[in-house]
Chains A and B, each alone.
Chain A
Amino acid sequence: MTSFATRVLVVDDEPAIRRLLRGSLARAGHEVIEAGDARAALAALAIDKPDLVLLDLGLPDRDGLELIPLVKAAGAALLIVSARDATDEKVAALDLGADDYVTKPFDTEEVHARIRVALRSRLSRVAEEPVVQVGPITVDLAARRVLRDGAEVHLTPKEYGFLAQLCRHPGRVVSHAALLRAVWGAGHEHDVEYLRVAVRGVRRKLEEGDVESSMIRNEPGVGYRLITG
């Protein structure tokens, strides 16, 4: 994918997890730096300038959430490693600017996939792709058009807004609040039922199969994700 080696900073207080990730990431061609606490992480952030940070929020010396703005300010992509039930923590991390999250105990393949997406979107941020292609569906963000097998499909403005918002972050989870804010406006961040209605409409008009194979994946309690391939 990229011609140069990406540098990944792994922040976790457990040596076993760091060892596991180091081996796995190194095999995938990444350069890996490790940090066991927030202090070491901040030092590494300044000195090594990583492209991506894998951050476990449960750190011994500081709340991991506090590091998020600092990582974003340093210009690195950020993946959160979070416990299974910590839905609120995930939402808070996303709101603070994290790109995505993986759930502990994680699957290393899942970690690789998320890293790929995060790095890709970090690069594409410079020149935003105006056309997104998912299977038979084409979303033309510049022309505000949606085609299915080449034929234009009419979506309501909210349905289109919802889909466009997901297409701007392909492969990444977008939180309920972020979607609602972008499409319905401030003051509707808690009206999740609007999203449910919109996603039903999009699926009905663009897809045939069951919900499980939909290109729009539901992340319970967190948000939606556009599955790009």
Chain B
Amino acid sequence: MTPARPDPDALLRLAEQERSGRLKVFLGAAPGVGKTCEMLDDALGQARAGVDVVVGVVETHGRVETEARLRPLPVLPRKEVAHRGHTLLEMDIDAILERRPSLVLVDELAHANAPGSRHDKRWQDVEEILAAGIDVWSTLNIQHLESLNDVVASFTHVRVRETVPDRLLDRAEIEVVDTPPDELIERLRAGKVYVPQEAARALHHFFSRSNLSALRELVLRRAAQAVDAQMLDAVRAQALAGTWATADRVLVAVGSHDAASDVVRAGRRLADALRAPWTAVHIETPGERGAQANARLAEAMHLATQLGGQVLAMPASGVVDGLAQAAADTRATLLVVGAPRPRRFAWQRRLTVDTLARRLPDLALQQVPVVHRAVPARLPTPVPDWRRLAAGLVPALGATALVTALGRLLFAAAPITNVALLYFLPVMLAATRYGLATGVLTGLAASLAYNFFFIPPTGTFTIEDPQNIITVLVLVAVAAVSSQLAARLRQQALLAGASARTSAALAGFARLLTGVTTAEELGRVLCAEAARLLDAHAVLLLPTDGKLVVAAAFPPQDRLEVLDMAAAQWAFDRAQPAGRGSGTLTASEWLFTPLAAGGAPLAVLGLARGDAAAPVRSDRLPLLGSLVDQAGLALERIRLEHDMAGVRQLEERDRLRAALLSSISHDLRTPLTAVVGTLRELVPANEDQVPILATARAEADRLQRFIANLLDMVRIEAGAIALRTEAVDLAEAVASAVHDLRRTLGTRAVTMDIAPDLPLVMVDPRLFHHCLINLIENAARHGGEEGAITLAAQRRPDGLDLRVLDEGPGLPPGMAVRIFELFTRVEGSDRKGGTGLGLAIVKGFARAMGLDVSAANRGDRAGACFTVHFSEHHLRKISPE
């Protein structure tokens, strides 16, 4: 940790706020949540407590509940501002400054003052009042906050012009006034929310349930953000080491005992319940762990990352020290520890938890019940390694012998008692280099040698002078203590070294991963690093078409044995390790570990060593876990980036297509408008020109319809149809289509048989209009020279049918389905006109609206019948006003 020194900038900010008045903002998600009432309630409390409160400006909007709250408070009269012949009432800032209350209430912080006022905006007034050392309480809706204005507009489609700069909120005390969306909508319905007349339309849309939920979330997030920023300022300024409770942060202490994973799960559940971020911490204390403990710890920490927690390894000399440091570093508010396993003595049981509670008084402590599967009789002490002990004892005893020989020589020259000090040399040597056991054994050997060779009577293990007994005992004690100290130092150094090496390796790996952009590249980096760090062969398998394939290997190889592939596939399918050293499919030489992100396996890393040993040493398992986790996250990132690139490409294509469509549509229509318009203006110069002009006009009209159809078809094909569904009256829709086609239909009889009390239909009026135009036009084209067209609507048990009937020859056999295909024209028909587009457009638009269209021949006489079917959910029953 860097030394804690106050940050001068933060001090300055705080000092400025000390001098000026304090601002409190009642922040809400939308109009009507009750900000003003809340402010008035709180202000009344202040006034009763003797604070000099005045109301600068509060808008009651005629609401009784607001007026009742306002009555007991002194209200400053407002100032009249003349504007364009109107008189507007604005807050009188000069009156406030002159009156100098300790607290002034200023409603609607975002309000824009009438032109001619001192400041354009009310928040500027507030800043001036604050600068004069007067406290201000105000109200604000989140959409008026400058930085969120765009965000809010993007989903509500309502943009407000009056905005308040964020710096005001950042220095303010915030009180969130929260009303659940349903309740707010209820209040709106009940007319309890003031809605300005001109904004009513926008607000109607604004008050949807989803909008309100989103706004509410924004309010809570923004408030939390402001509070965090203010707290950081306070921490920086005071440079206090301690923990501050803001939003909860959970710290989960993970041991290497067999219930470690249970503690992680319990911690995560608590964090979820508190909606708090959480960190799993393991305190690396001096001392050796067994292979099983290592594996359990690795599993627990891995689980923590999988469950969305941060993980932290904190080297410390003791568990309590380590947890204290971790709690300060992560600014934790809640520490989760597993309940200790049953101990024989009460003082043992209470020790850690009590010490923690004493050391960290700000921290809430939560013990979670865990089931210790195996209860060891005592603390697991490291099992001495006899071979290593022997290897250490030889040089240690040799040194003892050497010291004895040297002592004899010196003793022969002059009999001195200090020779005992010489024996510290081999004892220290053994303790520091070979550990506690060797040190103590050497100490015993040294005391025996000293007794035998130097204490009278020499040559025996008997001691004559009682003073010498003390010398022997001290020698043994010093040996024990110093070897203990030395051993601890040595272990700490080892630990620090290993931890530093692991951290450096992981940091290096993380750096390498950031530059990686493809899965194959990731495979190469991962395999090379895993092989180097774990001293093993490495291979990465990625799924391709549902099968795992070797994507990278170090040293290079491109396939695995069938047995190994089976283990890899198992690991991938179950998202669990498989192969040698894992307990599953151990016949494989490889250990396969799945790379997963968010629970779904993305790839499998295989590790193997040439000899028959386990692929990964047990103490390296945590390192493997970290490598695999990081690589999994990187792989997920690569996949997401890839997906995003695809989406961007699609968006770009859609944008281009839309631009092209609108440009083509404009470029084709403009000259055509000129041609059609000009033809209508032309007056025939003589009788001969009359039919020529008529033909030109008819053909131009046809071209116009054709181009309209062509553009509609392109739209359908491009999927560029945006629906705007509303209730449509069938009789009206049909009448509009017939009206627009009047010129084409000429004197042809069109009969409408549509009952006036049919339900309305929910369709896009524009698309439906084009469907009808094309259907009626088709009926006119194929219905014979003078054949009548009938449009009939009929209620059916499953909805409603609209039929378009003509009196032409009808459809040739087998055409009923094909007729809706693009560029299909009725065979054997010599009638002119028709591009084969019209009915395809009908089908395309109808499908976009969810309607069925079908074609058949009439039953009652010759002619075709086209039916548009509305199912029950398209109908809107009419209820009386």
Contacts and interface: CB of A to CB of B under 8 A. Distances in A.
- B is bound to A: yes
B768 A220 contact: yes
A106 B756 contact: no
Contact of B681 (A83, A108, A210): A108
B686 interface: no
Contacts of B878: 193, 196-197
Contacts of A83: 665-666, 669
Nearest to B742: A212
Contacts of B170: none
A38 B121 CA distance: 33
Nearest to A203: B756
A14 B671 CA distance: 9
Contacts of B739: 212, 217
A229 interface: no
Contact of B724 (A87, A181, A189, A196): A87
Interface in A89-113: 104-109
B2 interface: no
Interface in A147-202: 156, 158, 176-177, 181, 186-190, 192-194, 196-197, 199-200
B727 interface: yes
A100 to B, nearest CB: 17
B201 A186 contact: yes
A218 B736 contact: yes
A197 B881 contact: yes
Contacts of A20: 673-674, 677-678, 681
A221 B204 contact: no
B671 A16 contact: yes
Interface in A15-36: 16-17, 19-21, 23-24, 27
Nearest to B733: A220
Nearest to A181: B201
B200 interface: yes
User: Contact residue range for chain B?
Assistant: 35 or more
Contacts of A61: none
A128 interface: no
Given A83-B665, A105-B669, A106-B677, A186 B735 contact: no
A32 to B, nearest CB: 14
A129 interface: no
Nearest to A189: B201
A212 B677 contact: no
Chain A at the B interface: SS class: helix
B63 interface: no
A219 interface: yes
Contact of B726 (A14, A85, A107, A221): A221
B676 interface: yes
A214 B204 contact: no
Given A20-B674, A194-B881, A186 B197 contact: yes
B760 interface: yes
Nearest to A194: B881
A64 interface: no
B769 A17 contact: no
Interface residues of A, number: 48
B731 A211 contact: yes
A84 interface: yes
Contacts of B754: 211
Contacts of B204: 186-190
Contacts of B200: 181, 186-187
Given A20-B678, A23-B681, A105-B676, A221 B724 contact: yes
Contact of B732 (A88, A109, A194, A218): A218
B760 A199 contact: no
A125 interface: no
B700 to A, nearest CB: 9
Nearest to B715: A85
Contact of A104 (B201, B669, B752, B769): B669
Which of A108, A176, A218 counts the most B-chain CB atoms under 10 A from its CB? A218
B629 interface: no
Contacts of A214: 735
Contacts of A58: 666
B738 interface: yes
Nearest to A212: B735
B673 A104 contact: yes
B781 to A, nearest CB: 20
B161 to A, nearest CB: 15
A211 B674 contact: no
B508 to A, nearest CB: 54
Nearest to B195: A186
B727 A108 contact: no
A192 B724 contact: no
Contacts of A200: 729, 756
Contacts of A106: 673, 677
A199 B729 contact: yes
A154 to B, nearest CB: 15
Interface in B655-685: 665-666, 669-674, 676-678, 680-681
A116 interface: no
A66 B639 CA distance: 44
Contacts of A109: 680
A204 interface: yes
A17 B674 contact: yes
Nearest to A27: B681
Interface string B840-881: 000000000000000000000000000000000000101011
A21 B674 CA distance: 9
A83 to B, nearest CB: 7
A17 B765 CA distance: 29
A51 B732 CA distance: 34
Nearest to B734: A211
B732 A196 contact: yes
A193 B878 CA distance: 8
Contacts of A189: 201, 204
B735 A105 contact: no
A184 B728 CA distance: 18
B736 A219 contact: yes
B658 to A, nearest CB: 13
A23 B676 CA distance: 14
Nearest to A15: B674
A19 B203 CA distance: 44
A181 B200 CA distance: 9
Given A17-B673, A109-B680, A193 B760 contact: yes
Contact of A211 (B201, B732, B766): B732
B704 interface: yes
Given A106-B677, A220-B765, A210 B752 contact: yes
A14 B672 CA distance: 12
A158 B881 CA distance: 9
A106 to B, nearest CB: 6
B324 interface: no
Contacts of A186: 195, 197, 200-201, 204
A194 to B, nearest CB: 7
Nearest to A201: B881
17 contacts: A14-B670, A16-B671, A21-B677, A23-B681, A83-B669, A84-B669, A84-B708, A104-B673, A105-B673, A187-B203, A193-B727, A196-B878, A197-B880, A200-B729, A218-B729, A220-B728, A221-B765
The 8 closest A-B pairs by CB, nearest first: A186-B200, A105-B673, A193-B727, A221-B765, A16-B674, A212-B735, A211-B735, A220-B765
Given A177-B201, A196-B732, 8 more contacts: A20-B673, A58-B666, A105-B669, A105-B672, A193-B878, A212-B739, A218-B735, A221-B764
